[in-house]
Structure 1
């Protein structure tokens, strides 16, 4: 319903109390003053009974309540999000600070371990080098004793056990000499930089046939790499150790068969050396790469227990990993990757002790 007035003069009025739809207590009413061309006119608006019938209080209350509830939920979500963001920022700062502290500790630990490792390698190199002199001295004294006992050995009263014991001393001296040489070799890995001229794999295998007195059918090669230009001295050392182990541990009546495969995989060579030897029990696959670990008895003169340790250290230094596939009675296959042309950073070699 609407009424319009100008000042105190009523221009238009629908508020007739006798009207059937007149609502003495309207649900909504409002007064609006509008300036029209210098004249102030008032508009009085109120609802009638028809509006009340179509819009009950319960419906309006529900709409109002729903609106207030929605607004409250929105405010609550905003507050929760703000608090969560604050907690997240605080936690992120805490974690970042903790990571920085741990990173600093880790860097310090790495520096300490690197320094300790360098000291240990230099120490083992120096000790092994210095042991060579007394070992040679013991060998010389043993030979002098043998010379002094020549007349005794020629007599009928000579005890054969004396000559046997002297022979055992020679064997132990030879073994100790090989061990000290191996320790020196192991400690120097990684300290010589990229060494050796380009290595033709076929020529290297031909040379190993001569060194190990093997026939062509005993040491075969499948090669699609050709020449390797990276750290070839160490590569030859790895191949010689693996082939030497296959020769050393071959038993039985079957003819020895060693196969070397060299395949190009991207910028690296994949080398696999397999044999038809007695095989290695899987439970020993990790152990055989440890220093001074061997599956033979300690009295075996030719068993140094360091050859495969050298293989593992050399291959890992050049960015590869040694893989072993073997079981008892099936032979063994050693596989590893080797860079073909990548240049390695040089390292200083520890000075030899006099």
Structure 2
């Protein structure tokens, strides 16, 4: 269809251009050559008549003004002749008539006009001059007759050109009407063909696609129609098949995920049972070991040597540390499971609670704690108190022996939420251990140097991540240790929709 329409457009354009060109050529020939040539013949005839009158007047009166008029028209004659030759260059018959008239004009100038002028200037008898003028009448009349014939020939050419122009215009109009009719016919045929070969297959394809989109993924699409639509249908069928395969894989993965979720629930129940055992059943034997070791030391201490008493001390210390580890592990496992009272929390209040819990250690170390105004966040107050207590406790515990501890808490409002820093002037942390310090039960110092089980920063990291933030060590700070953590802002309260006001009813008088 496109090739046919393109061929029609090219053919119609060529025919239209040819018709327009022919019409323009005929019109230009008529307007630019024939009509100006006829006008020039009239001008030339007027010039010759003016020359004759001026010559005869000069011969009778001898006044120079008549001679000047003759000379002026004589000079204009070759110019008009040359213009006529250019205009009639494509008209050989008219050009021959012009050449014959030009020869007659030259003979009249030589045989009549010039002898009359010379005779008058020489004082020739007027009777002789009258005889010369009479002899030239036949030549001048023949010249006028030749110009009349030339005018008649130009009139014939003009009439023929006008008829040719009318035929060219008719052919032009007929050509454009034929082009328009061909284009309309082609458009109608194209519309019918598009309807039959394109739109109907597309409608059938659309119905099949709507069935698939409605949930009938088992409905197969059969390629129909032209090659392009068939390829489209085949591509849609391939996409449908991939969707079916993806749904089947998704169902399989969902079943597997549900199975894993069930196993995870069972595992969590087992972990909760383990936590219960760790908090009750495992701690009871540890307390019994520590208690009986202490009783053994009290009752038989005078009978034991130093080595035996040292062994008993080791046993009591090990049982005590094991009990602390179990308690810390139990607290770590409860984050996000037992402590999940999410609400708006004023961090200033929980900060003060954590500082009060550490007041003894703070006073003993002579520490100074300063903070910026703290915002309100969404979280669990118990967990956030544990977070501040661990961070502030570490800052006081790992203080430098050379200076009093100074702890500074700052807050910054960022596009992602609230950013907090806890900065101290203590012994600091080597950047090589920036990740190790957040691993549970990982210690950087011997047990005798600093108390604790090495779980505090792991608890802090888990609390911050449970609240949707991040906790890290600032490795660029060298004046001690600086921890950065982020907390998201509370979600803005939902604005209830205002009920639409009822339209005022217009009162209608009874």
Aligned equivalent of 2:481: 332
Q: Give the C-alpha shift of residue 119 in structure 1.
A: 3.2
8 Å Cα contact 2:400-2:425 kept in structure 1: no
Q: State yes or no: 1:125 paired with 2:280.
A: no
Q: Which has the higher helix share?
A: 2
Q: 1:291/1:216 Cα in 2 relative to 1: closer, same or farther (>3 Å)? A: closer
The aligned residue for residue 169 of structure 1 is 315
Structure having the higher strand fraction is: 1
- Please name the residue that 2:333 is paired with: 187
The Cα of 1:125 is off from its aligned counterpart by 0.9
Query: Contact conserved, 1:247 with 1:256, CA < 8 A, in 2?
Result: yes
TM-score by length of 1: 0.61
The number of residue pairs the alignment matches comes to 265
Secondary structure of the residue aligned to 2:483 is strand
Contact 1:282 1:326 in 2 (8 A): yes
Counterpart in the other structure of 1:4: none
Could you tell me whether the CA contact under 8 Å between 1:124 and 1:187 is conserved in 2?
no
- Local SS of the residue matching 1:181: helix
Query: Which runs of 5 or more structure 2 residues have no equivalent in the other structure?
Result: 1-197, 199-225, 493-510
The equivalent of 2:460 in structure 1 is: 311
Moved more, 213-222 or 300-309: 213-222
Cα 1:163–1:342 change in 2 (3 A) is: farther
Taking the aligned partners of 1:295 and 1:99, their CA distance within structure 2 comes to 51
| 1:237 maps onto 2:408 in alignment | no
Identify the residue that residue 320 of structure 1 maps to in structure 2.
469
Matches within 5 A, 1:197-216: 200-201=349-350, 203-204=352-353, 206-214=355-363
Match for residue 306 of structure 2?
160
Deviations 1:210-249 (A, max 9, x none): 1423479734232222555631110010111222223333
Greater mean alpha carbon deviation, residues 303-312 or residues 230-239: 303-312
Deviation, structure 1 residue 191: 2.0
CA distance in 1, matches of 2:369, 2:259: 47
- Residue correspondence of structure 1 range 1-354 to structure 2 within 5 A: 79=227, 82-83=230-231, 86-87=234-235, 89-91=237-239, 93-95=241-243, 97-98=245-246, 101-102=249-250, 103-104=253-254, 107-108=257-258, 111-112=261-262, 114-115=264-265, 118-119=268-269, 121-129=271-279, 130-152=281-303, 159-192=305-338, 193-194=340-341, 200-201=349-350, 203-204=352-353, 206-214=355-363, 218-225=367-374, 230-263=379-412, 269-297=418-446, 302-326=451-475, 330-338=479-487
Q: CA RMSD for the aligned pairs?
A: 3.8
2:406 and 2:233 map into 1 onto residues whose CA distance is 69
Distance 2:242 2:378 in 1: 50
**Bigger radius of gyration among the two:** 2
Q: Distance in 1 between matches of 2:234 and 2:391?
A: 61
- Is the Cα–Cα contact under 8 Å of residues 419 and 487 in structure 2 kept in the other structure? yes
Check whether the contact 2:362–2:396 (CA below 8 A) recurs between aligned residues: no
Tell me if the contact between 1:293 and 1:305 (Cα under 8 Å) persists in the aligned partners. Answer: yes
Contact 1:171 1:301 in 2 (8 A): no
Q: Which has the higher contact order (CA 8 A, sep 6+)?
A: 1
| Counterpart Cα distance in 1 of 2:416 and 2:239 | 45
Q: Deviations over 1:309-344 (max 9, x none)?
A: 21122222222221221369553222223356569x
Pick closer, same or farther for the CA change 1:224–1:247 going to 2, 3 Å: closer
Structure 1 unmatched runs, 5+: 1-74, 153-157, 344-354
Contact 1:277 1:329 in 2 (8 A): no
Question: 3-state SS of the aligned residue for 1:337?
Answer: strand
Offset of residue 117 of structure 1: 5.2
Q: Find the aligned partners of 1:110 and 1:244 in 2 and give their Cα distance.
A: 40
Flag the 1:164–1:322 CA change in 2: closer, same or farther, 3 A.
Answer: same
